[in-house]
Amino acid sequence: MIEAIRNALRIPDLRKKIIFTLAIIALYRVGAHIPVPGVNPADVKDLVQGAGSALGLLNLFAGGALENFAIFALGIMPYITATIIMQLLQAVVPTIERWSKEGEAGQRKITQTARYMTLGIALLESFGLLTVFQAPVSSGGLGIDFGLMNEIIIVISLIAGTAAIMWMGELITQRGIGNGMSLIIFASIVSRFPQTIVASFQVNTLLMVLMLLISLSVVAAVVFMERGQRRIPVQYAKRVVGRRVYGGVGTYIPLKVNGANVIPIIFASSILLFPTTIARFFTDVAWLQRFSAALSSGWIHITLYGVLIVFFTYFYTALVFNPIDTADNLRKNGGFIPGVRPGKATSQYIENVLNRITLPGALFLAAIAVMPQILFQQTGDPLVQAFGGTSILIMVGVALETMRQLESQLQMRHYDGFFK
């Protein structure tokens, strides 16, 4: 691995990409410590660290920028949310579905729409944060009236910060190494690691060492599942065009065991956090407070969380992978699965295989998300809360994808890569 890093740094254009990526990430981390005008970061920090899981999760993905109420407090999540919404709309809006099939031109339209949607989501989240922070102290807020002018400045600063993060992420994707948005989330999560290690030492040293060993085991399991595939063999018939013979080769369709990645966890978390968010605005409604408390913690929360993750894994996998389109493309290009008739039988076969391999992937995601919550209830270790299965899943997935891109760049130049 050290030799592969040396090889990467020896290549001028690859070295420039790596340095450019690190510089943009460093600039992002600087912005996470610049507070918006008119706010005392110390008050916000106490509120966020003592708040429920909604603000805590947002603070984790923002790399601690929310507890500083920095200009990057919203993080990259508005853009991630907008991207997921656009993926969902492709299945229900004919215009967006047509764009997705128009190649690069259609993709530019989808990306531009997602950018505008990101600014709208950032606007809503900015007002939401102001509402939470200005709520009375008895309702879990700061009880501070920022004033109209300060509110306008804060909202503009947060929206501008979100736009800057989106721009930096796209710069990394275009001119750096890896997916820019994913690397920004990766940097946000990793930046919290030293502080959390220190806090965990203060709780229980022996317990901290045990949690680190469990985390390493989870990393190994995530790597195993992320690289797991079910390869469906495909054979192409020979075609004679003029004096040339095409086809007659064998290949395969790679179906990932965890094709949905971390998306089902994000969906399930959003569904369960919605009643808690609504309850903050209606503190005098007793039944809503009881319902919110039941869904925010305890075994009811854990059970529903696991069930929703399994459901959304199947839902998202069916959304992004269409067996009918795959079977049609195979038939048009003269391909077939050995032993399976082309057309409907092929699509049915692919769908059955996809359903079978999605189940272990869904159960794995549910276990990865639920087990840290159970351990935190039993131990109270902050390392478990901050770096649970979701964080490890994101970090490992981003690291593997970035290493794959470096691997391909090195192999293009006839160097040995990271993977043997």
The amino acid at 147: G
How many whole angstroms separate alpha carbon 65 and alpha carbon 51? 15
For residues 23-56, one letter each, b for 16 or more C-beta atoms within 10 angstroms of the residue's C-beta and e for the rest, the string is: ebbeebbebbeebbeebeeeebbebbeebbbbbb
Confidence of residue 248 (pLDDT cuts 50, 70, 90): low
Higher pLDDT, 209 or 353: 353
Higher pLDDT, 29 or 104: 29
Confidence of residue 27 (pLDDT cuts 50, 70, 90): very high
Confidence of residue 165 (pLDDT cuts 50, 70, 90): very high
Higher pLDDT, 318 or 55: 318
| pLDDT exceeds cutoff 70 at 49 | no
Both 235 and 357 in one domain: the answer is: yes
CATH number for 362: 1.10.3370.10
pLDDT at 34: 87
Both 338 and 398 in one domain: the answer is: no
159 closest CA partner among 117, 197, 105: 117
Q: What is the mean pLDDT of residues 278-288?
A: 68
DSSP states of 344-387 as a string?
Answer: HHHHHHHHHHHHHHHHHHHHHHHHHHHHHHHHHHHH--HHHHHT
pLDDT at 325: 83
CB 296 within 8 A of CB 276: yes
Both 251 and 342 in one domain: the answer is: yes
Both 214 and 168 in one domain: the answer is: no
Both 204 and 232 in one domain: the answer is: yes
Confidence of residue 241 (pLDDT cuts 50, 70, 90): low
CB 158 within 8 A of CB 62: no
Both 380 and 417 in one domain: the answer is: no
Both 103 and 247 in one domain: the answer is: no
Both 6 and 154 in one domain: the answer is: yes
Confidence of residue 56 (pLDDT cuts 50, 70, 90): low
| pLDDT exceeds cutoff 70 at 382 | no
For residue 338, what are the domain limits? 200-386
349 closest CA partner among 368, 365, 326: 326
Number of domains in the chain: 2
Both 348 and 395 in one domain: the answer is: no
Both 115 and 250 in one domain: the answer is: no
pLDDT at 6: 74
pLDDT above 70 as % of the chain: 80
Per-residue pLDDT tens for 291-300?
Answer: 777 776 677 8
Both 375 and 395 in one domain: the answer is: no
Higher pLDDT, 169 or 49: 169
Both 38 and 165 in one domain: the answer is: yes
**pTM of structure:** 0.77
Per-residue pLDDT tens for 143-158?
Answer: 677 778 888 888 899 9
